[in-house]
Each structure stands twice: as structure tokens, then as C-alpha cells.
Amino acid sequence: MSAARSAPYRRAARGVLRWCFWYTRGLPADVAADRQDELASDLHEHAEWAAERGVSGARLAREIRFRALRGAPADLAWRAARVRAADPVVRFELRADAALTAFLLVIAVAFTALGGFVLVRAVRAVVREDIGDLPSAVVPVAVLTALALAATVLLLRRRSRIAGALVLIVPVVLLLQPAGDLLWRVSASTVVVFFFAPWWTTAAAIASVGLAVCCLAAAAHWWTRQRRTARLARVALTERKALSNV
């Protein structure tokens, strides 16, 4: 079996191509496609060179990964240069997109941490025999915390971030109330907060609705942008095919 057909080479090539798709995300379709084609051609030439010299698939995979790591700073510099050279509207969209993703990730991590903290406090209260049994609110808190964690994972990938934003709406809207009820039962300090700050419930409800609207707006923005990018990619592909037939 040639090195180009070996499993180590295919895994390494897929990893490098995923990296290329990541750092070309959001760029104009023709610019991203040219860079991806350039990388695919480079991988093919490297594999052909390895086949001619009898290089093993494992060694070829190591060389490809090493080249990718060594070239990562140059790839990021290439992206930064393309962003600076892009149309101001495109440049604004790229930066806004990054800020929006970071904002939703912060929300998802915060709600995951909140749910985890409340669950740990509840379990500790049972272990220390501060309460008899786990309150029934543990179940919804656990489920909603799991959804917040799932949303965090989905938001980390460009292809699944729309789903992540939509999934995040559920814990954002529903987690604060059962989490507060559970803390009420297991934490004396929480009782004090609730007693001296009766506005907390109203504030939490308003915050939940506001964050849910942000999640929905982010999902709508990404969906619209994804459709526009796909349309531009189809146009660019059609133009390239037309030029190749000339």
C-alpha cells in the first residue's frame, strides 16, 4: 500500500484540511476556496513525493503534521492580512462574528458552571446530612446543566454553532429558577439573599429573557450568513468551471 493510501496519512491530511477550513472561515468564498485548493494540491504533491521515495505512511503523516504546526503562525498571519484587505463590511462582519461567538460561549460556560456548582452543593448537603434526601429540583437542574454543557460543545464548532445557540436558549430560560430553589434548600446564605433581595427573581427572569433573545438573534445571524456564504460559494464554483472550459 502506498503512503498516500495509508490510514495515518489520511488522518493527518483530514486534520490539516480541517485546520485550513477553520482559519479560512468567514472569508470571501473565492479566497477561502483558493487557499483550500492550494493546500489540497500541496498535500497531493507531498504524498506523490513520498510514494516515489518509498516513505512510509506513518512517516509521511508525521511530516505533514510537523509542517502544519510549523506553518500555523504563517496561516494565521495570512488570515489577518486577508481580513485587513477585505471590504470594510466583510471585516466588520468577521469581527462581530467572533465577538458574538465569544459572548455566547461565556454564557454557556457560566450556566454550566452555575448548574455544576448548585449540584455539588446539593450533594454535599446530603453527604453532610444537612438535608435528608436530594430535593426534586436536582433533576431539572442536572438536565439543564447538561444542555448548557452540550451547547458549549456545539458552539465550539462552526458547523454546529447554530444548534448550540438554539440549545442554549433552554437552560438560559429555565435554569435560574430551579437552581435558585435548590440553593434555597441547601444553603443558608442563599436564604438570606432571597429574604433581603426580593427583586432577585424578577431580575433573573429579565436577564433570562434578554439572554435568550441574544441566543436567538445569534442563531438567526449565523443562519443568514451561512446561506449567503453558500450562495457565494456556488457562484464562485460556477465561475471557475466556466473559466476552466474556456
Q: Does residue 244 lie within any of the structural domains?
A: no
Q: Does residue 245 lie within any of the structural domains?
A: no
For residue 24, give the DSSP letter: T
Q: Does residue 187 lie within any of the structural domains?
A: yes
The conformational region for residue 26 under phi > 0 = left, psi -120 to 50 = alpha, else beta, is left
Do 133 and 219 have their domain in common? yes
For residue 225, give the DSSP letter: H
Count of domains forming the chain:
2
Do 107 and 161 have their domain in common? yes
Pick the closest to residue 216 from 168, 180, 178, 176 (CA basis): 168
Q: Does residue 242 lie within any of the structural domains?
A: no
Do 34 and 110 have their domain in common? no
- Cα end-to-end span (Å), the chain: 38
Show pLDDT as tens, one digit a residue, over the chain (246 residues).
566 677 888 888 888 888 888 888 777 777 888 888 888 888 888 888 888 888 788 888 888 889 989 988 998 898 888 877 777 776 777 777 888 889 999 999 999 999 999 888 888 877 776 666 777 778 899 999 999 999 999 998 888 999 999 999 999 999 988 888 787 777 655 554 554 456 667 777 888 899 999 999 999 988 887 777 667 666 666 666 655 555
Q: Which domain holds residue 207?
A: 91-232
Q: Does residue 241 lie within any of the structural domains?
A: no
The Cα-based distances of 166 to 18, 115, 143 in angstroms read 24, 18, 16
Do 142 and 186 have their domain in common? yes
CA distance linking residue 122 with residue 135, whole number of Å: 8
Do 123 and 179 have their domain in common? yes
Please report where in the chains the cell 503534521 appears, as a residue.
65
CA distance linking residue 24 with residue 32, whole number of Å: 5
Query: pTM here?
Result: 0.66
Do 7 and 67 have their domain in common? yes
State the angle between helix axes of 29-52 and 57-85 in degrees (0 to 180), rounded to the nearest 10: 160
Please report where in the chains the cell 462582519 appears, as a residue.
93
Q: Does residue 243 lie within any of the structural domains?
A: no
Do 178 and 140 have their domain in common? yes
Do 98 and 203 have their domain in common? yes
Q: Domain boundary at 86, 113, 144, which?
A: 86
Do 56 and 155 have their domain in common? no
Do 78 and 98 have their domain in common? no
CA distance linking residue 180 with residue 168, whole number of Å: 19
Do 73 and 129 have their domain in common? no
Pick the closest to residue 153 from 197, 109, 191, 184 (CA basis): 109
- 21 in Cβ contact with 157 (< 8 Å): no
Return the pLDDT at 195: 47
Q: Does residue 207 lie within any of the structural domains?
A: yes
Pick the closest to residue 164 from 147, 179, 178, 177 (CA basis): 147
Q: Domain boundary at 35, 62, 86, which?
A: 86
Q: Domain boundary at 41, 61, 86, which?
A: 86
Pick the closest to residue 221 from 104, 48, 97 (CA basis): 97
Q: Does residue 160 lie within any of the structural domains?
A: yes
Do 81 and 120 have their domain in common? no
